[in-house]
Structure 1
Amino acid sequence: MRKAGLQLATFLALTVSALPAFAASCKDASGFPAWLESFKQEAAQKGHSPQAIAALSGLSYAPDVVAKDRAQNVFSQSFLEFSDRMVAKYRMQKGAQLIKQNAKLFDRIQKDYGVPAPVLVGFWGLETDFGVNLGDMPTLRSLATLAYDCRRPQLFHDQLMAALTVIDRGDLTAAEMKGPWAGELGQVQFLATHYRDFAVDYDGDGRRDLIKSVPDVLASAANLLVHEGWQANQPWLTEVRVPENLDWAQADLQIQHPISTWKKMGVTVAPGSHLPESDLKASLLLPMGRHGPAFLAYQNYRVYLEWNQSFIYATTAAYYATRLAGAPPVGRGNDAKQLPYKDVVELQKLLAKRGHDVGKADGMIGAGTRAAVKAMQIELGMPADSYPDVALLQRLRAGT
C-alpha cells in the first residue's frame, strides 16, 4: 500500500542545509558514487560492520525512485473515495478471518501492549494486504538514492544508517530488504528507524523478522503504537450524527469537549455505533465537511496521525478498525462532494494570496489547507467546517 511513501509523512521535511557537503551537487546523479563512498566511511566510523557496509557496494542511483517521490498524489481523493476503495469487502472478510485464526496471538498482544486486534489488523491490511504486497524494490538502493537526493537528505540518511543496524543485528540480510520505492520494510511497512527502535522478537527465534514472522509483525506494530501514545481499553473513533444548526467551528481536531458536551450540542450516535460509557474528551471530525460523514475522534485517533500524518489515510485506517470491531458501514452524509483536484490547487493558491499558509499547492486537503479554509470561512461569515466547497472557491475567485 505504500505507493506514496505513506509513513514518511510522520517526519519533518528537513532541508538541504542539513547536509551542505553535497547540497550543491545532489541534483547531479554523477556525484552519487562519491557520495556513497563518503557514507560508507561515515558508517564505518559509527561502528557498522564491514559485512553490512559491503552491502552498499555497487549500489546505483535510482532515478525512478526520485520520480515517484515527486509524484505523490494518492491523498487528493476524498475520504469516501479512499475508504470505499481501501475498506473493500475482501479486506473485511480476510481481516475477520485473520483475527479469528490468530485469536491467541492477539489476546497475548493485547495483554502485553493494550492494542486490540482490529487496530493491528487494520494497519496490516491497508499497508500490505496482510503481507501479500511487500514491494520488490531493493531497499538499500532506494534509501541511498533518497539520502543523496536534495529534497529530504537527512531523513533518508538516517534511514539508511538504521538499515545497516538491522543488518548488523542479524534481523534481515541485505538481500531480504525489499519493499516499496521509499524504503519501508515488512508487513506493516516500518521505516528503518522504526524497525531499529521498535521491532520485537515475539516468536522467540532470536530475530526481529517483520517480513515473515506474523508474531513479530503484529507485536512490533503494537509496540510502535504504544510509543506513539496508544491508551489501552480506550476507543479511537465513533460515527455520529450532527444537527444542521451546529456551531461548525467546533468541528476541529484542535478542539476537544467531553462526550456529554457534544450531546448537549445535539450530536448523537449513528445507528449501529456505540459511545463509550465514560465521559471522554473527543474532537468532532468531519472528513468531508458538514455535508459528509461525522465522527467523534478520541485521544487514540491521534495515534493514527502519528503513524501517518495524512488525514485521509489516518481516518480511513481508524474507520477500517471500527468496522473490524463490529461497526456498520459509514453513513454517506448529505450531498458530500469534494472539489476536483485542479480546483483544490486553485483554492490553495487563492488562500496563499490572502496570506494563509497552506504549504505547497498540491491538491490535497491536509491539515494546513483545512486550517486556512476555516480561517477564511470565519472571515467571510460562512459555515466554518474547515472543508472547501464551490461556494468558498467562488467567493475567493470574486475577491470578496
Structure 2
Amino acid sequence: MRKALVVAALLLSAPLTLAGPALAAKCGNNAAGFPAWLASFKREAVASGISSRTVEAALGGMTYNTKVIRLDRNQKSFKLSFEQFLARRAPPSTIAIGKRRMKQHEVVLDRVERKYGVPKEVIVSIWGLESGFGGFMGDIPIFSSLSALAYDCRRSAFFTNELMSALRIADRGQMRISEMKGAWAGEIGQTQFLASSYERFAVDFDGDGRPNLIRSPADVFASTANFLRQHGWQKGGDWSPGSSNYAVLRDWNRAEVYRRTIAHFATELTK
C-alpha cells in the first residue's frame, strides 16, 4: 500500500487542529475557480506577514492538482480489518527491520525516551508505519497538494491553515521549498507531520539549529515523542488497547486499525 494512503487518517486527528485565517476566495470543486482562489489566497498570505518572495516561490504558476483530489476522494486503506491492515503494514518482516533499526539508533532513542518518557518501541513502530523507517516520505510537492485541498470545498478551512503553516515554515528558512515534498495530503518527514504539527511539535534534538524531520533521525524521534508527550503520554504507562496511552494514540491517528497496529508493532519490538 502506498504511503499516501497509509497516512490519510492523520488528517482527522486532534493534533492538527489550529485556529487559522479566514478562507480566501470561494472554494470550489473543479479547476474553473482555482486561479481566482489562488490569487486571493496569495494576497491574504502576504497580508498575514509572509514575504511576497516566499509566496511567489511556493505558489507562483501553481495549477489545480486533480490527482490529489482523486486521492482524497478514494481513501480505502482504513476500511480494512485490523488483521488485513496488520498483514499489509506490519508483517513479521517489517517488525524484524524495526528491531534492527531500533538497535542501530539505540543511543539516541534512549536519550529521547529519558527526556520525553515515550518508549523507543512506540517511536520506532510509528516511524516504520509512517514512512518505512524513512524509506519513502512521499514525492508530491506539498504546496501543490495543499493548495488544491485548501481550494476544495470538502475541508477548505483545515487545509487553508495547513497551507499557511507551510508557507511560514518556508518563510522562516526552516525548510527549503524544494525539499517540502510528501504524501498527497501535505505530510512531510519520516513520521509524516503536517505543517501545523511541525510548527507546534518539531524539535531540534541534534542541535544543528533547526528541526529536520527529513534527514535527522534524532529530530524525527524527538519530535514524534514530543508530540505524544504534549498530548498526554504517561511515562512508564502501558500502551495496550484500553490504556490511557492508547487513548493518546488517537491524537496521532483516529483510525482504530492504525492505533491497534502501532500498539501491536511496539509490543512485538519489546520481545
How many residues are matched? 264
Q: Give 4+ residue runs of structure 1 displaced > 6 Å after superposition.
A: 18-21
Match for residue 202 of structure 1 among 205, 216, 228: 205
- Hey, what's the Cα distance between the residues in 2 that align with 1:203 and 1:11? 27
Match for residue 81 of structure 2 among 78, 102, 108: 78
Shift of 1:169: 2.3
- Hey, what's the Cα distance between the residues in 2 that align with 1:202 and 1:179? 22
Match for residue 132 of structure 1 among 127, 130, 135: 135
Residues 240-259 of structure 1 correspond to what in structure 2 (within 5 A)? none
Aligned residue for 1:187, secondary structure, equals coil
| CA RMSD between the two structures | 1.9
Percent identity, please.
Answer: 44
1:145 aligns with 2:145: no
Aligned pair in 2 of structure 1 residues 146, 110: CA closer, same or farther (>3 Å)? same
Shift of 1:97: 0.9
- Alpha carbons 1:7, 1:307 under 8 Å: kept: yes
Aligned pair in 2 of structure 1 residues 197, 12: CA closer, same or farther (>3 Å)? closer
Bigger Cα Rg: 1
Q: Which deviations, in whole Å up to 9, do the C-alpha atoms of 1:133-173 show, x marking residues without a partner?
A: 11111110000000000100000000000001111222211
- Hey, what's the Cα distance between the residues in 1 that align with 2:246 and 2:15? 20
Match for residue 10 of structure 2 among 7, 11, 21: 7
Residues 1-400 of structure 1 correspond to what in structure 2 (within 5 A)? 1-3=3-5, 5-11=8-14, 22-23=25-26, 26-54=28-56, 55-237=58-240, 296-326=241-271
Shift of 1:302: 0.6
Q: Which has the higher contact order (CA 8 A, sep 6+)?
A: 2
Shift of 1:224: 0.5
Shift of 1:50: 2.6
Higher share in helix: 2
Aligned residue for 2:71, secondary structure, equals helix
Aligned residue for 1:3, secondary structure, equals helix
TM-score under structure 2 normalisation?
0.92
Shift of 1:90: 2.4
Structure 1 spans left out of the alignment, 5+ residues: 238-295, 327-400
Aligned pair in 2 of structure 1 residues 21, 219: CA closer, same or farther (>3 Å)? closer
- Hey, what's the Cα distance between the residues in 1 that align with 2:53 and 2:249? 37
- Alpha carbons 1:170, 1:207 under 8 Å: kept: no
- Alpha carbons 2:25, 2:36 under 8 Å: kept: no
- Hey, what's the Cα distance between the residues in 2 that align with 1:36 and 1:21? 8
TM-score under structure 1 normalisation?
0.63
Aligned pair in 2 of structure 1 residues 20, 193: CA closer, same or farther (>3 Å)? closer
Aligned pair in 2 of structure 1 residues 128, 93: CA closer, same or farther (>3 Å)? same
Shift of 1:89: 2.3
Q: Which amino acid aligns with 1:38?
A: S
- Alpha carbons 2:130, 2:192 under 8 Å: kept: yes
Higher share in strand: 1
- Hey, what's the Cα distance between the residues in 2 that align with 1:131 and 1:112? 23
Shift of 1:116: 0.9
- Hey, what's the Cα distance between the residues in 2 that align with 1:133 and 1:21? 33
Structure 2 spans left out of the alignment, 5+ residues: none
- Alpha carbons 1:140, 1:160 under 8 Å: kept: yes
Q: Which deviations, in whole Å up to 9, do the C-alpha atoms of 1:62-111 show, x marking residues without a partner?
A: 01111110111211111111112211222111111111111110111011
- Alpha carbons 2:23, 2:156 under 8 Å: kept: no
Q: Which amino acid aligns with 1:231?
A: Q
Q: Which amino acid aligns with 2:118?
A: V
